[in-house]
Structure 1
Amino acid sequence: MEVINVSKHYGHSIILKGINFALNKGEIVGLVGRNGVGKSTLMKILAQNNQLTSGNIISSDNIGYLIEEPKLFLSKTGLENLKYLANLYGVDYNQERFGSLIQELDLTQSINKRVKTYFWGQNKN
């Protein structure tokens, strides 16, 4: 598969811009990145479940993808969910440590909002 200068726009928002890469048959890859950068959108485009705005994808085979569903309490805030999961896995809540994790995941603006208000990509972290 070869992805050539792929872009995706939703209205005036540019979700993907100039994506280029090549994959060999049988390769298994994963996408890593911050929330809202278009990872799920790119996977849907590659699997032909979403139209690209511009660019080209050359492939002779079908592609499959798996996007994990979130398992969070939608009525709780992101921070409440984080504390709950930390406790569940026996991790002591450390405000400094978790604060840097929240920053790294780009959740600072939404961590105190109810999870049900997050966009789908944020629900998966």
Structure 2
Amino acid sequence: MPMVEVENLEKDYGKVKALRGISFYINEGEIFGLIGPNGAGKSTTLKILATLLKPTGGRAKIAGHDVVKEAEGVRALISYLPEEAGAYKNLTGREYLEFMAKLYAKEEGKAKKMLELGVKLSGLGERLDDKVSTYSKGMTRKLLIARALMVKPKLAILDEPASGLDIVNAYEIRQTMRRFAREEGTTFLLSSHNMLEVEFLCDRVAMIAEGRIVELGTPEELKEKYNAENLEEVFMRAIGTEIPEPIGGEGS
């Protein structure tokens, strides 16, 4: 049974159709990317799977649990990190992770182990004992990724996990996700408009445009199908957009 099953999912905001009947599945232990431009329906899909929004039509299941009818059971299996998430700025990084560990784990021993894992995953070293208000955006994002993963979710739902980060921090976050998927068997669903980043990280990707899935497969399969050098070219061709000549190329 797949970890995630999405079938003909629809979501309307009044007269605006954010999702127009999308379908895909994610296997256990897979890193799956939902990619497309802003406003394509990525965040709406993630919020439905995280039980924060109810779909207008269709259905979605996580580990066999319906996200609407069994929302509480789904929440026990997932961790969700929105794009604009923040941490409590008046706490140190360590205090924040400790607070979240105690919130998730009822037993003191389990909370301690969760905190130890969070400290390791953050990679923040001595800076963990500084207040979050002194952190850069990259440091805060690494702290939040650690919080999302230290609970060892069956499914980690990450909305633009490396949004706005520099090359070093984005690389470190990608490595953390890869390592965690490999060592813990966690399934990842991440959204991004950065198709090159997703190409390096994901086992399979679904491309979404105007609320519809326009392509789905491994990065290599899609590049071969469209005779493309990267996923950006695949996306442009999949939606029928002409790829412009590079600056300095023929005709310049």
Range with bigger deviation, 38-47 or 21-30: 21-30
1:25 is displaced (CA, Å) by 1.8
Check if 1:13 corresponds to 2:13: no
Q: Is 1:69 equivalent to 2:84 in the alignment?
A: yes
Cα deviation for residue 27 of structure 1 reads: 1.9
Partner of 2:37: 34
Instruction: Compute the displacement of 1:24 (Å).
Output: 1.2
Q: CA deviation at 1:63?
A: 3.0
In structure 2, distance between residues paired with 1:68 and 1:56: 24
Unaligned runs of 5+ in 2: 64-73, 86-136, 138-163, 168-193, 195-252
Identity of aligned residues (%): 47
Tell me which amino acid in the other structure corresponds to 2:80: Y
CA distance in 2, matches of 1:14, 1:30: 22
CA distance in 2, matches of 1:55, 1:68: 25
2:7 match: secondary structure: strand
TM-score normalised by structure 1 residue count:
0.51
Specify the structure having the higher radius of gyration (Cα): 2
Q: In structure 2, how many angstroms separate the alpha carbons of the residues matched to 1:57 and 1:50?
A: 12
> What does residue 113 of structure 1 align with?
none
How far apart in 1 are the matches of 2:14 and 2:32?
29
Measured on the aligned residues, the alpha-carbon RMSD in Å equals 2.9
1:48 deviates by 0.8
- Answer 1 or 2: which has greater helix percent: 2
Q: Secondary structure at the match of 1:18?
A: strand
Give the superposition deviation at 1:33. Answer: 0.8
Count residues in correspondence.
76
Alignment of 1:90-101 (within 5 A): none
Question: Which residue matches 2:49?
Answer: 46
1:34 offset after TM fit, Å? 0.7
Distance of 1:42 and 1:17 partners within structure 2: 11
Q: Is the 8 A contact 1:46 1:63 kept in 2?
A: no
Normalized per residue, which structure has more strand?
Answer: 2
SS state of the match for residue 43, structure 1?
helix
Deviations 1:17-62 (A, max 9, x none): 1110011122222221111111111000011111100001122353
Letter in 2 for 1:69: E
